[in-house]
């Protein structure tokens, strides 16, 4: 895309997706081929992409959208291909690179430049006071890690972060090691994204996961796509929506922005789509204001409860399977339409129009992502959506259900394997019985808690199993200063990022195998397993040779760290001592677990609820589905019923002169990894922009394209007053966003999100509702971005 050269140009910012354009299509094919040529070359790209998401291949390290039963040769999307090829790149980062580049020099480089340098090929250490990383053996690194952890006054002075790219085997070993060490400090990337979904669903239906299966989308009459942008964040979902639409389903998008992927999608592997421009996806766009979703779904529930249609509400289902309905109905009826309209940004007439679609549909699916989870009232918002679904019995039957869409390949599997600061009693009992571990009683730290405890000097060591802790976290500058106070930071990684450069006094990089690579350690069990967004656990086996002979798998690294830190302790639980021949597995030392994934899975089968017979079941065609009681209307709450929750319509509201900011991802990025500055689906060629309604620009005397100063505001609940954060160097652009709203890119806008601003009960950072002021920067004229 040609770069904008003047403030008034329409080239940089077209304002909204053009209905003549499509997501996917030939452009997606072209971009994928260009990325392949740059990263790996076409032959290597074909070799790796042909095995992506295949039963005998590897799970894409991108999103967690499930694979269909019938799979194509190219069972991947454009953004998945970018993630795969980025991992399979020919570029390398070894000892020569670190000898050539100091930390000070690398800190002046962009995240994109750091990522483009390639795969890290051997362990490295940054010693106290040094300006360069230097090589170290894995064993030498393990010894230093052990020394540093044993020097702590308490195990609680260490925290152990996990990324959603981690396999089930590595995640289970990691939490077992951490609890054996003596703490529950297990912050996780889920704390930053879907924690609100887990908390809300656990309270409402008894399980912190969705209930919809992939085939339910082919039986649904009406599908709500809420607070999400599948075209960028999980594009394979568009294939599912396309099929549902062609079958006759109605699709309603609820989101402040009109996103191109939900306007029209051309399947790159369907010739007819390439010729015709594809299929229109959404029938209706409901443009709620930022954080207006709770009020919108309250309005739909009010419309159903006040409808004269006899079957508007499924009273039989409510009577048999739910609790709290009477109180919810009382509060809904007492909620005025004026309050609903004001807080949703949607008129009563428009809500009643969508309610008519609901009344004419039997089977309804509601799907959402981080547009719902990253607000102060996120848990209440998701429970409001669940309330709406319960009113017509749309949980626990074919063609219906709730569907939180995780945006990372195994973030849901991490939770299943015990990566959580507070372990469920059933899991705790089994872990202690089978593995001989005394699980610590103190609740552990989540991500926000880890940052604040590091800043206070009470967490002095951070080990990260994947991920980019610094850029993914809120309050970037505060987090950076907190990291610098640590004695030790460890990154188990594939590629270089800023978390390797903003470190504790001692910093260690332990490079690991990628999802695409062949694990040449175990003999017969050289696959790992992952869990998709719909609760199906299946194998993943890389096919490429490792980029370096020095690389080790995540599971092996975790097991060897544990062996060194725990000094070779063996697992000696009751089930190991008193095993029977039919259920036996060898008693193994920590160091051996890292090379025997079947042994890990056998322990998982004894500990993790729903994973009985793990090794056998995961080898079945398609793997196996984790037990999900609500799918059969067995609600695993304390009462045995699904619960209506009647929360007040509370939300963060901008004050006079302020706007509400939400952060988004671009089409050319995967989580914190940014492949280029372009966002072609929104017409952008720069990431340091803030998108505003043209009237909001004019009210502030700002010209589209002008450089601005962005100030975020946060008022602490403890009465300590209001604090601010400021970002300069951004340009304000006119865009089709609701009045009073603003949009900027993640992670560039993360410095504006206060570490203390998080969702009630889930503690997820409020990345989607940040109070800000936007002012024209003095001395800067409007110009190109």
Both 261 and 358 in a single domain?
A: yes
User: What's residue 2's pLDDT?
Assistant: 31
- pLDDT band (50, 70, 90) for residue 534: very high
Both 394 and 439 in a single domain?
A: no
Q: Is 652 contained in some domain?
A: no
- CA of residue 173 relative to chain centroid, distance: 22
Both 72 and 46 in a single domain?
A: yes
CA 107 vs CA 92, 493, 528, 730: distances in Å: 19, 18, 35, 20
Q: Is a pLDDT exceeding 60 seen at residue 638?
A: yes
- pLDDT band (50, 70, 90) for residue 17: low
- pLDDT band (50, 70, 90) for residue 11: very low
Both 347 and 432 in a single domain?
A: no
Contacts of residue 256, defined as CB under 8 A and 6 or more positions apart, other chains included, come to: 287, 288, 289, 290, 292, 371, 662, 737, 738, 741, 743
User: What's residue 28's pLDDT?
Assistant: 86
- Burial (CB count within 10 angstroms: exposed 0-12, middle 13-18, buried 19+), residue 457: exposed
Q: Is 438 contained in some domain?
A: yes
pLDDT tens-place string over residues 286-310: 999 999 999 999 999 999 999 999 9
Q: Is a pLDDT exceeding 60 seen at residue 6?
A: no
Q: Which two tokens stand for residue 316?
A: 């039989």
- pLDDT band (50, 70, 90) for residue 575: very low
What integer is the mean pLDDT of 356-362?
98
* Residue range(s) defining the domain that contains residue 672: 659-776
Instruction: Please state the domain count of the chain.
Output: 4
Where is the domain boundary, 87, 114, 140? 87
User: What's residue 586's pLDDT?
Assistant: 41
Both 62 and 172 in a single domain?
A: no
User: What's residue 234's pLDDT?
Assistant: 87
Q: Is 416 contained in some domain?
A: no
User: What's residue 76's pLDDT?
Assistant: 85
Spatial contact of 181 and 489, defined as CB atoms under 8 Å apart: no
Percent of the chain with pLDDT over 70: 93
Both 571 and 663 in a single domain?
A: no
Both 156 and 283 in a single domain?
A: no
Q: Is 415 contained in some domain?
A: no
Long-range contacts of 575-578 (CB under 8 A, 24+ apart): 575/433, 575/434, 575/606, 576/434, 576/436
Where is the domain boundary, 46, 71, 87? 87
User: What's residue 748's pLDDT?
Assistant: 96
pLDDT tens-place string over residues 372-406: 999 999 999 999 999 999 999 999 999 999 999 98
Q: Is 412 contained in some domain?
A: no
List, in sequence order, every residue forming a beta bridge with 253; answer none if it has no partner.
Answer: 225, 285
Both 435 and 577 in a single domain?
A: yes
Q: Domain of 295: which CATH number?
A: 3.40.228.10
Angle between helices 42-49 and 78-87 (to 10 degrees): 110
CA distance 608 to 288: 40
CA distance 295 to 649: 6
Q: Is a pLDDT exceeding 80 seen at residue 19?
A: no
Where is the domain boundary, 359, 378, 404? 404
User: What's residue 64's pLDDT?
Assistant: 84
pLDDT tens-place string over residues 98-107: 999 999 999 9
Mean pLDDT of the residues in the chain: 91
Span of 184-188, 251-255, 331-335, 773-777 with lowest mean pLDDT: 773-777
Contacts of residue 130, defined as CB under 8 A and 6 or more positions apart, other chains included, come to: none
Span of 448-452, 462-466, 492-496, 572-576 with lowest mean pLDDT: 572-576
Both 119 and 220 in a single domain?
A: no
Q: Is a pLDDT exceeding 50 seen at residue 482?
A: yes
CA distance 305 to 638: 27
List, in sequence order, every residue forming a beta bridge with 517; answer none if it has no partner.
Answer: 544
User: What's residue 578's pLDDT?
Assistant: 44
User: What's residue 202's pLDDT?
Assistant: 97
User: What's residue 228's pLDDT?
Assistant: 95
User: What's residue 571's pLDDT?
Assistant: 57
User: What's residue 27's pLDDT?
Assistant: 87
User: What's residue 5's pLDDT?
Assistant: 30
pLDDT tens-place string over residues 697-717: 999 999 999 999 999 999 887
Whole-model pTM: value is 0.94
User: What's residue 587's pLDDT?
Assistant: 45
Angle between helices 25-39 and 42-49 (to 10 degrees): 110
CA distance 409 to 427: 23
Q: Which of 223-237, 343-357, 645-659 has the highest mean pLDDT?
A: 343-357
pLDDT tens-place string over residues 315-325: 999 999 999 99
Q: Is 52 contained in some domain?
A: yes
Percent of the chain with pLDDT over 90: 77
Q: Domain of 609: which CATH number?
A: 3.40.50.740
Both 393 and 425 in a single domain?
A: no
**CA 278-279-283 angle, 5° bins:** 150
Q: Is 74 contained in some domain?
A: yes
CA distance 718 to 70: 55
Both 317 and 387 in a single domain?
A: yes
Span of 52-56, 508-512, 649-653, 669-673 with lowest mean pLDDT: 649-653
Both 517 and 563 in a single domain?
A: yes
Q: Is a pLDDT exceeding 50 seen at residue 9?
A: no
Q: Is 634 contained in some domain?
A: no
């Amino acid at each position: 895309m040609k770069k904008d050269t003047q403030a008034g140009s329409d080239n940089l910012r077209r304002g909204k997706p053009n209905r003549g354009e499509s997501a996917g299509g030939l452009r997606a094919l072209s971009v994928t081929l260009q990325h392949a040529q740059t990263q790996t070359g076409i032959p290597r790209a074909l070799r790796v992409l042909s095995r992506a998401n295949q039963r005998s291949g590897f799970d894409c390290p991108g999103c967690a959208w499930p694979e269909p039963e019938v799979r194509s040769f190219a069972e991947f999307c454009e953004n998945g291909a970018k993630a795969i090829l980025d991992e399979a790149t020919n570029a390398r980062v070894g000892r020569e690179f670190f000898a050539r580049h100091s930390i000070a020099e690398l800190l002046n480089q962009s995240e994109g430049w750091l990522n483009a340098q390639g795969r890290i090929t051997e362990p490295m250490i940054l010693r106290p006071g040094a300006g360069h990383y230097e090589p170290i053996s894995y064993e030498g690194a393990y010894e230093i890690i052990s020394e540093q952890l044993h020097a702590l006054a308490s195990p609680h002075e260490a925290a152990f972060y996990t990324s959603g790219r981690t396999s089930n085997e590595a995640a289970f070993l990691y939490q077992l090691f951490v609890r054996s060490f003596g703490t529950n400090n297990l912050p996780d990337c889920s704390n930053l994204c879907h924690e609100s979904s887990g908390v809300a669903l656990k309270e409402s239906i008894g399980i912190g996961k969705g209930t919809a299966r992939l085939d339910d989308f082919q039986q649904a009459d009406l599908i709500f796509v809420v607070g999400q942008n599948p075209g960028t964040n999980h594009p394979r979902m568009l294939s599912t929506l396309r099929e549902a639409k062609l079958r006759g389903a109605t699709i309603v998008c609820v989101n402040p922005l009109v996103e191109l992927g939900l306007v029209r999608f051309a399947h790159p592997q369907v010739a007819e789509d390439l010729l015709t421009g594809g299929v229109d996806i959404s029938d209706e766009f409901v443009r709620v204001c930022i954080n207006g979703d709770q009020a919108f779904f309250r309005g739909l529930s009010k419309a159903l409860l006040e409808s004269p249609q006899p079957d508007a509400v499924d009273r039989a289902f409510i009577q048999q399977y739910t609790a709290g309905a009477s109180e919810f109905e009382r509060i809904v009826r007492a909620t005025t339409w004026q309050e609903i309209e004001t807080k949703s940004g949607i008129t009563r007439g428009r809500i009643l129009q969508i309610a008519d679609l609901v009344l004419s549909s039997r089977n309804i699916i509601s799907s959402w992502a981080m547009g719902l989870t990253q607000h102060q009232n996120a848990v209440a918002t998701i429970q409001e959506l669940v309330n709406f679904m319960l009113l017509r019995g749309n949980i626990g039957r074919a063609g219906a259900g709730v569907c939180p869409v995780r945006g990372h390949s195994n973030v849901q599997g991490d939770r299943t394997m015990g990566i959580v600061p507070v372990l469920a009693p059933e899991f705790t009992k089994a872990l202690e019985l089978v593995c001989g571990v005394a699980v610590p009683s103190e609740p552990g730290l989540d991500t926000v808690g880890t940052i604040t405890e590091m800043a206070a000097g009470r967490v002095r060591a951070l080990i990260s199993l994947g991920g980019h802790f610094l850029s993914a976290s809120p309050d970037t500058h505060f987090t950076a200063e907190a990291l610098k106070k640590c004695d030790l930071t460890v990154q188990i990684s594939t590629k270089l990022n800023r978390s390797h450069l903003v470190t504790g006094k001692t910093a260690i990089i332990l490079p690991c195998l990628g999802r695409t690579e062949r694990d040449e350690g175990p003999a017969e069990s050289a696959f790992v397993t992952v869990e998709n967004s719909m609760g199906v656990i299946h194998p993943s086996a890389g096919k490429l040779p490792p980029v370096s002979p020095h690389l080790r798998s995540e599971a092996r690294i975790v097991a060897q760290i544990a062996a060194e830190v725990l000094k070779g302790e063996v697992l000696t639980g009751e089930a190991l001592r008193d095993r029977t021949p039919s259920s036996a597995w060898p008693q193994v030392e920590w160091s051996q677990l890292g090379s025997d994934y079947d042994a890990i899975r056998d322990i998982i089968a004894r500990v993790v609820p729903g994973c009985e017979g793990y090794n056998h079941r995961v080898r079945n065609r398609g793997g196996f589905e984790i037990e999900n009681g609500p799918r059969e209307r067995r609600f695993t709450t304390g009462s045995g019923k699904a619960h209506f929750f009647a929360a007040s319509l509370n939300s963060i509201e901008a004050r006079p002169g302020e706007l509400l900011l939400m952060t988004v991802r671009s089409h050319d990025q995967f989580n914190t990894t940014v492949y280029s500055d372009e966002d072609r689906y929104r017409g952008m060629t720069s990431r340091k922009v803030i998108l505003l309604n043209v009237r909001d620009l004019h009210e502030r005397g700002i010209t589209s394209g002008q450089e601005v100063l962005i100030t975020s505001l946060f008022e602490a609940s403890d009465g300590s007053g209001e604090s601010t954060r400021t970002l300069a160097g951004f340009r304000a652009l006119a865009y089709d966003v609701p009045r009073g709203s603003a949009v900027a890119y993640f992670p560039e806008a993360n410095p504006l999100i206060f570490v203390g601003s998080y969702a009630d009960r889930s503690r997820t950072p409020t990345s989607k509702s940040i109070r800000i002021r936007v002012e024209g920067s003095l001395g800067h004229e409007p110009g190109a971005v």
